[in-house]
Each structure stands twice: as structure tokens, then as C-alpha cells.
Amino acid sequence: MTTPLKQLVDEARQVVVFTGAGISTESGIPDFRSPGGLWTQNKPIYFQDFMASEETRIEAWRRKFNMDDAFAKARPNAGHMAIARLVQQGKVSAVITQNIDNLHQESGIPADKVIELHGNTTYAKCLDCGSRHELEFVRAAFGEVNAPPPCRACGGILKTATISFGQSMPQGEMMRAEAETLGCDLFIAVGSSLVVYPAAGFPIIAKQNGSGLVIINREPTEMDEIADLVVNDEAGATLAALVP
Ligand code: NAD
Ligand code: ZN
């Protein structure tokens, strides 16, 4: 069956997919803004507070390890897999994601086609020298002294490689995301409430540049009125129908 969504995708020359937490809920990772989402349980830790206090850093890492215990088993779902197929077919040129869960990469999309606007929580980075540290190392050291260890290279502060509220956006990723957005003729936003800026600016840039805009989301969003098509349904089944 040719749905309006399938028709738009078939007719498009180059598609960019933009994802939020909603694409990963079917993998068992809760989003922020659905009822019962993470937002309602834990207030986010702002970057400035993380930098200012060792106590806050301990709390941030404690939360992180608790989350990993709950979500380490998460695997890509039908939605991630469908997007991976579209990338493989050359239809989708890049996936711009707000997610930090690494599931797009795990679905088989080459890392250079996944643009992570908010970083990645599956490893840690030194805020001073930028060197990468694996979580097992941080966790083992944390277990011994109940505090995160310093960077092994320079003694600096270690944080998951994510972008917190109050932290500056990654320049290179922002530029690549903008270039991809300007290069597409169909932009599909999936599973995002489209309220977190600057990330939520990309659908607007696409639309202003003459691209088509599709929004796939369980609930209405504030951008529905500028979209060419809104699908208020589950991301997994909706995307899977594109690649039978
Ligand atoms: P959000 O929580 O603000 O919005 C998620 C949206 O997805 C909601 O509007 C919800 O109705 C919809 N949704 C949930 N499950 C769905 C499904 N199965 N099918 C279709 N729609 C579904 O998320 P956001 O816009 O990504 O912004 C939240 C911020 O939190 C982002 O910056 C993101 O980085 C971060 N975050 C990431 C993860 C993750 O990596 N998996 C999880 C939680 C939060
Ligand atoms: Zn360092």
C-alpha cells in the first residue's frame, strides 16, 4: 500500500532523518516528556552545576550508572532498523539525532552518517584535554572511592560525552547538521517534541529552504502546522512500513 508518507519518501531525491527520544522508547528507554518520562523523575543537572561541585559530579555519575543498569540491554528497534535500511539504499543521506544512546550506530548506520547533536552516553570524555575514557574504567574507579576518577592523561574532570543543558553545542556537528539539512528535499522528524533548541531549529531551516517536512510523533507538536505531513503514530511501525 502506498501511504502518503511512502509516496513522499519515494519521490524525494535526498532525505534527512532527525530523531529524538521517541524513536528509542520502543527499545525500552523512556523519553523526557511523555507521562512518566525521565523528566518527571529527575531534574536535569546543568553543566555549570556539574563543573562547580564535586558533589554534583558524584550525583551525576551515580545516576548514570543507575540508568545503565536499567537500560544496558536496549537494542535498536524496528524504527532504527528501517532508517538503517533507507541509509543503506542511499535514500537517507544522514541521521541527525538528539539521542545519546548509540542505537543508530548499533542498527548498522556508519558512524559518519550519524550526527549526534547532544553527544553520546556510552563513553566518557575529559573536559580538559578531550581524551576518551571507557565507562568500565570510570565505574570501577568510582566503585572504590565513591567518586569519579580524574582523567588518566591530564587529571581533568571526566563527564559522559554528552551535551548537558548549559553546555555549548558541538560546532562540527552543528555545521554538518546544517549542511545536510540544506541539502535535502525531504526532512523527517521522528519522536521529538521539537521544543529543545537549537536542535529543534533544523526542521524550520529545512522548511524555509524549500524542503518537505514530515513529523512522525505520538503526540502533536508545536511545529505540526508548518509540516507537509503529520503522522501521529508509533515510530517503529510507521517507519517499518517504508521498507517492506
Ligand atoms: P522528548 O521526550 O521531548 O519528546 C519525545 C517525543 O516522542 C514525545 O513527544 C512523545 O510523544 C514521542 N514519542 C514517544 N514514544 C514514541 C513512539 N514510540 N513513537 C512515536 N513518538 C513517540 O524528546 P526529545 O525531543 O528528544 O528531547 C529530549 C532531550 O532528551 C533530547 O535532547 C535527547 O537528547 C534527550 N534524551 C535522549 C534519550 C535517548 O538517547 N534515548 C532519552 C531521553 C532523553
Ligand atoms: Zn584530560
Q: What is the pLDDT of residues 59-101, one digit of tens each?
A: 999 999 998 988 888 999 999 999 999 999 999 999 999 999 9
- As for how many domains the chain has, the answer is 2
Mutation test of ligand 1: which of 5, 23, 32, 67 has the most ligand atoms closer than 8 Å to its C-beta? 32
Sort 49 into a burial class: Cβ within 10 Å, 0-12 / 13-18 / 19+: middle
Q: How far is the C-alpha of 22 from the C-alpha of 132, rounded, in Å?
A: 28
The three-class DSSP label of residue 239 is helix
Query: What pLDDT was estimated at residue 241?
Result: 97
Active site residue 104: no
Q: How far is the centre of ligand 1, averaged over its atoms, from the C-alpha of 32 (Å)?
A: 6
In this structure, are 216 and 228 located in the same domain?
yes
Q: Whose CA is nearest to atom 36 of ligand 1?
A: 21
Count of helices and strands (H, E) across the chain: 10, 9
Strands 119-126 and 132-133: antiparallel
In this structure, are 203 and 228 located in the same domain?
yes
Query: What pLDDT was estimated at residue 69?
Result: 87
For residue 99, give Cα distances in angstroms to 114, 118, 214. Answer: 10, 7, 19
Is residue 98 within 6 Å of ligand 1 at its C-beta? yes
Task: Say which CATH number the domain at 156 has.
Answer: 3.30.1600.10
Range(s) of the domain holding residue 110: 1-28+76-118+169-244
In this structure, are 12 and 85 located in the same domain?
yes
Q: How far is the C-alpha of 25 from the C-alpha of 179, rounded, in Å?
A: 28
Q: How far is the centre of ligand 1, averaged over its atoms, from the C-alpha of 116 (Å)?
A: 14
Query: What pLDDT was estimated at residue 38?
Result: 66
**Of 65, 67, 60, 66, whose CA–CA distance to 157 is shortest?**
60
Q: Is 93 left (phi over 0), alpha (psi -120 to 50) or beta?
A: alpha
Grid coordinates 507538536 are at which residue? 221
Query: What pLDDT was estimated at residue 40?
Result: 66
Grid coordinates 575529559 are at which residue? 126
Task: Say which CATH number the domain at 236 has.
Answer: 3.40.50.1220
Q: What is the pLDDT of residues 127-179, one digit of tens each?
A: 999 999 999 999 999 999 999 999 999 999 999 999 999 999 999 999 999 99
Query: What pLDDT was estimated at residue 60?
Result: 96
**Of 82, 135, 79, 75, whose CA–CA distance to 106 is shortest?**
75
In this structure, are 69 and 84 located in the same domain?
no
In this structure, are 95 and 108 located in the same domain?
yes
Ligand closest to Cα of 118 equals: 1
Is residue 118 within 6 Å of ligand 1 at its C-beta? yes
**Measured in whole angstroms, how far is the alpha carbon of residue 98 from the centre of its chain?**
3
CA torsion 69-75-76-79 (nearest 10°) is -80
In this structure, are 143 and 243 located in the same domain?
no
In this structure, are 58 and 133 located in the same domain?
yes
In this structure, are 209 and 91 located in the same domain?
yes
